[in-house]
Structure 1
Amino acid sequence: MPEAKPEEVASGTAHANTDDATAVTAFARLYGEPLFELPADLYIPPDALEIFLEAFEGPLDLLLYLIRRQNFNILDIPMEPLTRQYMDYVQEIRSHNLELAADYLLMAAMLIEIKSRMLLPRPPVVNEEEAEDPRAQLVRRLLEYEKTKQAAQQLAVLPQQGRDFWCASAHVPTHEAPVALPTVTPEALQRAWQAIVRRSKLLAHHTITREKLSVREYMSRVLRTLQGHPYVEFEKLFDASHSVPVLVVTFVALLELGKENLIEIVQAEAFAPIYVMVRTV
């Protein structure tokens, strides 16, 4: 490795000394260049430098903060350092917000009064009753405020409706919607009738008789059968042991009753059993 010449060493030392001297005399650097004096047109807004003090919710909150920060015994408050620290804070907020300082000034007057009463000699004891400590009322207010503040902090961490959760709701109808029953088609009635006729033929006796059948009479029979029942299945109105003419007359009687709006023939759904009920007005 080549040795540095004495001239280079001296030059480097002189350059370093020059930079150190520049750094000492320059009060700032702008884009790497030293500044030795303020620009003539430099404007600094009045709120550019602002002291942000710790926010308090009132005089009691400030007092409690000062007591806890200094680890003072709240039952034996040293009034001199507490009052001094409190007044320092009041002087700061007076310079920023005079309206906000009003409540704090009232507490400051109370602290000064307590401090003055503690400096005065105590009156002689009467009836062996010890005089109340001037700090007692302040201590009671601080303890009550601390309990309230802790309770408020506990409530603040609890989940709140509308912020942390929402209540589910659903509309429940108060009455049931009427069920729309499908209309019985002639084809469905025909299929039911054909099924009855087929069963009747299987059980029919080969007896030749002559019967006098009255449609009106069987209409009355059907109405008597339906009395006392909300509905009767269509097939149960026919006795498969009877002859085909009896079944035919019964079927015609049903059609006549339906035509005269004395009965109603309904069906819950397609291909479901057919029911017959007395029509109500």
Structure 2
Amino acid sequence: MVDGVAVARLYGEPLFALPNDLYIPPDALEVFLEAFQGPLDLLLYLIRKQNFNILDIPMADVTRQYLAYVDQIRAHNLELAADYLLMAAMLIEIKSRMLLPPKPSENGEEPEDPRAELVRRLLEYEQMKLAAARLDSLPVMGRDFLRAQVHVEQSLAPRFPDVSLVDIQEAWRDILRRAKLNQHHRITREQLSVREYMSVVLRRLQGERFVEFQDLFDVSQGSPVVVVTFIAMLELARERLLEITQAEAFAPIYVRLAYQPT
């Protein structure tokens, strides 16, 4: 048949002679051994590929196959094959010791198997290789997933602390104390409208950036006017028509229109 004399196939067609201009790089076989992570990896591959019992390694077969692999690269890249040649010497030594009769031990115990140290190293290497494979199967950031990054723009506008109820109470007591200093002994009956004083407060804040809390009260008109003004201001705050702010704790309280730009 044609395949019996063909040296290779190119695109499915038989090739009977190598081209004259065919170039084989000196390190062409280096890729093969770099697929293994050292001599133990190659030796473990040969054992597992043929289903040998790792506790009872057939040294003759394994050594012969191992040397066949190493001989392929020894002539091309001696530096790469150095570690593999060292393992080959160890395999030949073990094979030679197995051919010799075992030396009797001084205490009468059974002599150790020449393959014991090699088996121990192979088992330890296999355990480490399996552990590395399990670690590599775990999700890795940058390979299997990316870290979510969310950019949040910080507002440049200053955020004033909320005014507590205690602060408003203290400011209100201060207004009442000042109102008592301007009491009149005039007995009259006045009809005070909260809506009217809501308009008064809004007109007072119109065109002003901030007005201090106590400046909204005309203490000279007595406590009734001060009380109605305070109720009108609370009603405006409830309807979100004005804002009550304080720069920091125990600082003066300021009032401004809610819709007035800063």
* Cα distance in 2 between the residues matched to 1:102 and 1:87: 13
Q: Deviations over 1:120-153 (max 9, x none)?
A: 1111243231111110000000000000001111
* Cα distance in 1 between the residues matched to 2:257 and 2:91: 88
- Cα pair distance change 1:242/1:68, threshold 3 Å: closer
Deviation at 1:65, TM superposition (A): 0.5
* Cα distance in 1 between the residues matched to 2:74 and 2:18: 32
Residues 123-272 of structure 1 mapped to structure 2, 5 A cutoff: 123-169=103-149, 178-179=158-159, 202-203=191-192, 234=216, 241=224, 265-267=254-256, 269-270=258-259
- Cα pair distance change 1:171/1:78, threshold 3 Å: same
> 2:81 — aligned with what?
101
Percent of residue pairs bearing the same amino acid type: 55
In the alignment, structure 1 segments of 5+ residues that lack a partner are 1-26, 28-35, 182-199, 205-229, 248-262, 272-281
> 2:21 — aligned with what?
43
Q: Deviations over 1:216-269 (max 9, x none)?
A: xxxxxxxxxxxxxx96694696767359xxx9xxxxxxxxxxxxxxx7743262
Partners of 1:66 and 1:82 within 8 A in 2 = yes
Partners of 2:66 and 2:88 within 8 A in 1 = yes
Number of residue pairs matched by the alignment = 173
> 2:59 — aligned with what?
79
Q: Deviations over 1:158-185 (max 9, x none)?
A: 11112222333557899x963379xxxx
Q: CA RMSD in A?
A: 4.2
Q: Deviations over 1:195-218 (max 9, x none)?
A: xxxxx96339xxxxxxxxxxxxxx
Find 2:72's aligned residue among 92, 112, 123: 92
* TM norm structure 1: 0.50
Q: Which amino acid is the alignment partner of residue 93 of structure 1? A: I
Which protein has the larger Cα radius of gyration, Structure 1 or Structure 2?
1
Q: Which amino acid is the alignment partner of residue 165 of structure 1? A: F
Deviation at 1:93, TM superposition (A): 1.7
Q: Which amino acid is the alignment partner of residue 144 of structure 1? A: E
- Cα pair distance change 1:86/1:239, threshold 3 Å: farther
* Cα distance in 2 between the residues matched to 1:236 and 1:242: 8
Q: Deviations over 1:59-87 (max 9, x none)?
A: 00010000011111100101000100000
Partners of 1:161 and 1:167 within 8 A in 2 = yes
- Cα pair distance change 1:235/1:113, threshold 3 Å: same
- Cα pair distance change 1:179/1:37, threshold 3 Å: closer
* Cα distance in 1 between the residues matched to 2:43 and 2:17: 45
* TM norm structure 2: 0.53
Partners of 1:203 and 1:240 within 8 A in 2 = no
